[in-house]
Chain A
Amino acid sequence: MQKPTNQYPIQLIEDDEALAQSIMGLLSSLQYTYVHYRNAEDFLDTLKNNPEAMKLSSCVVSDVRLPDQTGLDILTILKRDYPKCVWPIILITGHGDIAMAVDALHHGALDFLTKPFDPFILINKIAQAVEKSQVTKTQQDFLLEYTNRLTQLTEHEKAVFEMMMRNLSNREIADHLGNSTRTIEVHRAAVFKKMDVQSAMQLAQQNERYEMIVGNITNKA
């Protein structure tokens, strides 16, 4: 059994005390930390007070049928109000039907389990979810840092940077911008420093990663 590496407690929303206890037992046996909420309101209130937590890797395991709202409502609220939230949601239901499952997955739930589910499947899903949230978190961190660095570039440096990304040589860039090759080399060095890279190769890799993530986000939207 792989050792879990979540940094923020698993968010468990389940109104049935016995079932919640059993899931918590299961989670603690695998050294997961968790927080248990008995209804949607408690969960959302806690979130409101600590929105930064949602940028940390973890996941939400929620019952569909809750006393106040449904698991689907929580899903919708998270997507709508907290775009920075990296937590995937696993929904569990007392009586699954296909339509509900399709709806949940359509709204962006990671998975949909019907009670009684195989606990090992739930564990696997949680592990997947945490991993996914980590990836999302790293991506978000990277995006933030990368865009921060980009804003530090001067107009001229930005122009040089964009031409570099188009695989133009120093000479060609110099011709385009009407500067000497020497000036371009100075700008290049500035770009490298500000973007925190050692080589043009690294810069290209970073840019590629950036574009991929941005592309993914826009594709999803």
Chain B
Amino acid sequence: MLFKNKFNAWRDKLKESLKTVVIIFVTVSLTATALLLANSFSEQRNKNLLTIEALKYQSLLVRQIASDEEQLMSFMRALIDKSPQAYKYLLDQVFLDNKRFFRVEIRDTKGNLLLSRSAPGYEKIWPVDTRIELPPSVVMNFFKAVEQQKIYWSISYSPTGQSGVELVIPAVSSKLVLVAHISTHHFLPPESGIPIGKDIRVEFETSVPENLLSNNALALPLDLNGLNTHLIYSLTTFNKSVPNYSFFLVSLLGISLCVLVISYSNETKKNRLMQVRLSEQEMTLAKQAQLSTLGEISTTLAHELNQPLATITNYIATCEIRLQQLGFQDNVLNKALNDARGQTLRAGEVVQSIRNYLKKGSVVKATVEVEEAILRLQPIINALTKEKRSTLKIELTPHIAIRIDPALFEQIVLNLCKNALDAMSEIAPAKRQLLIRSSSDLDERSKKWARIDVVDNGHGISEENSKKLFEAFFTTKSEGMGIGLSLSRSVTESHGGKIMWANNADGGATFSIILPLHSTD
């Protein structure tokens, strides 16, 4: 039964933990998925941003290039009727208007150089004497331009290894061709003068790099006649630049979810504990209900007992008065009647005390001399020990006083004595010995305690019984009520003390009443 209970509790516990683990696992995986989604979402967002910016830039650039081409075309058209002297001036104009041109050349349709202007420092890029001939990569497009009377673009590589763009513009219906050597930076911010998001880098490439997709980059073809080029847009500071709010938000949600789930599981655990405690309380209540029924019984019992007790005392008193009136002087008779009256009254007090206890009513506190109280009980204890064929030994320390309801105190001592005697019923009568011992004690906080030990040499307390020893209605005796020790403990506790017990090394058990010592001075 006990094992089964334990097993059930263990299984419940396991179930609970397993549930918690599963819940946490699900939460964590959900959060991770959400994080991934958020990540890809933010990536997507970045890409969208990049695409939008790139398309915007590209379209503006294309328009700018078109307007540049148009401008240069009209310039060339203006050359048609001019004298060669005017060329120089017009060439200066072009060069001044397009500051990013490295070099502008006017050639005849055969490609011979007629006139040229170079930006300062051009020598370092391309020594002028090597540019008298057309660069080889431009030649093809030069003749195409002349033939088709269209603008052609081409790439040129300078002897110093720098690549540039060559713009070949034929003067329509004329013998002249303009060749402009332009830096590739011309197409790129900030030289292009076209605004773009500050975190986007633009590069000029003739071919699309292979690792483009993995780099948060985008390639857009720049459609120049005769030349296949791309602009590569990429985000320079991807993680830092775009604050990833969704990432934070989702992480926060995940953490809160985790916290919620854990606290929820804790709560259910607490609830379970609470239910266990509640059921325990219910059991206690049930016991209390039993006790209160007992209280009612005891009230009736007290009433029924007190009537005859009062009757007895009255008759005894009548006898005493009668004897006196008759002038009968007999000490034995007088004492017997007096004691009979006293004991009857004491019986009434015991009934009253038990009733008071069961009613949880207030108890009467009085100063009790332990020695005196136990000696007063001695005749009763003597009778009990004789009945159980046991010997009685009393070792009392004088001047130990306590504050307690006297009747209840006597009740407790008698209770412990009866228990001790019962415990010895199984051993040989010659060995049965009941010891009552009183002493005073100091505890570690130097508080003074009175201690009354009731020692037997019986069977002692088994480990199984020891746990339930003080529970109300627990008893090992067939005729017992199981109220004695429970009552004794409640009484001592309500007087600021306790009942302690231990099995003796040489057999039997010792029960001790511990109560605060009352200083009489």
Interface residue ranges, A against B (CB under 8 Å): 1, 16, 18-19, 21-23, 25-26, 29-30, 65, 92, 94-98, 114-120, 122-123
Contact = CB atoms under 8 A, between A and B. Distances in A.
Given A65-B303, A94-B303, A116 B321 contact: no
Given A1-B324, A18-B307, A29-B322, A95 B352 contact: yes
Given A19-B310, A19-B311, A116-B345, A97 B361 contact: yes
Nearest to B316: A119
Contacts of B315: 22, 25
A117 B308 CA distance: 11
Top 9 A-B residue pairs of the complex, sorted by shortest distance between their CB atoms: A119-B317, A22-B314, A116-B309, A115-B306, A115-B310, A116-B348, A94-B303, A116-B310, A22-B311
B302 interface: yes
Contacts of B324: 1
A66 to B, nearest CB: 13
6 contacts: A19-B314, A115-B307, A116-B306, A116-B309, A116-B345, A119-B316
Contacts of A115: 306-307, 309-310, 348
- What secondary structure prevails in chain B residues at the interface with A? helix
A116 B344 contact: yes
Nearest to A18: B311
A26 B476 CA distance: 47
Contacts of B158: none
A26 to B, nearest CB: 5
A19 B348 CA distance: 15
B345 A29 contact: no
A122 B341 CA distance: 14
Given A22-B318, A25-B314, A119-B313, A94 B325 contact: no
Contacts of B309: 115-116
Contacts of B362: 98
Which of B302, B314, B362 gathers most chain A CB within 10 Å?
A: B314
A29 B321 CA distance: 7
Interface string B380-398: 0000000000000000000
Contacts of B322: 29
A199 B355 CA distance: 64
Given A18-B307, A94-B302, A94-B303, A26 B314 contact: yes
Contact of A94 (B307, B313, B341): B307
Nearest to B314: A22
B438 to A, nearest CB: 30
Interface residues of B, number: 29
B481 to A, nearest CB: 21
A16 to B, nearest CB: 5
A163 B306 CA distance: 62
Given A30-B321, A92-B310, A123-B317, 17 more contacts: A1-B325, A18-B308, A19-B307, A19-B310, A22-B312, A26-B317, A65-B303, A94-B307, A96-B352, A115-B306, A115-B307, A116-B312, A116-B344, A116-B345, A116-B347, A116-B348, A117-B310
A120 B317 contact: yes
A23 B311 CA distance: 8
A117 to B, nearest CB: 6
Contacts of A95: 299, 302-303, 306, 352, 355
Contacts of A1: 321, 324-325
A22 B352 CA distance: 22
Contacts of B348: 114-116
A207 B272 CA distance: 83
Contacts of A122: 314
Interface string B278-318: 00000000000000000000010011001111111111111
Interface in B328-363: 341, 344-345, 347-348, 352, 355, 361-362
A216 B306 CA distance: 38
A30 B311 CA distance: 17
Contacts of A98: 362
Contacts of B302: 94-95
Contacts of B321: 1, 26, 29-30
B307 to A, nearest CB: 5
B510 to A, nearest CB: 36
A23 B316 CA distance: 11
A23 B307 contact: no
Contact of A23 (B299, B314, B341): B314
A23 B322 CA distance: 14
Given A1-B324, A94-B302, A16 B314 contact: no
Contacts of B311: 16, 18-19, 21-22
A98 B363 CA distance: 11
A110 to B, nearest CB: 18
B314 to A, nearest CB: 4
Contact of A29 (B303, B306, B318): B318
Nearest to B301: A95
Contacts of B314: 19, 22-23, 25-26, 119, 122
B325 A29 contact: yes
A182 B317 CA distance: 68
A96 B310 CA distance: 13
Contacts of B317: 26, 118-120, 123
B464 to A, nearest CB: 40
A96 B302 CA distance: 10
A18 B307 CA distance: 8
A94 B352 CA distance: 10
Interface in B397-429: none
Contacts of A29: 318, 321-322, 325
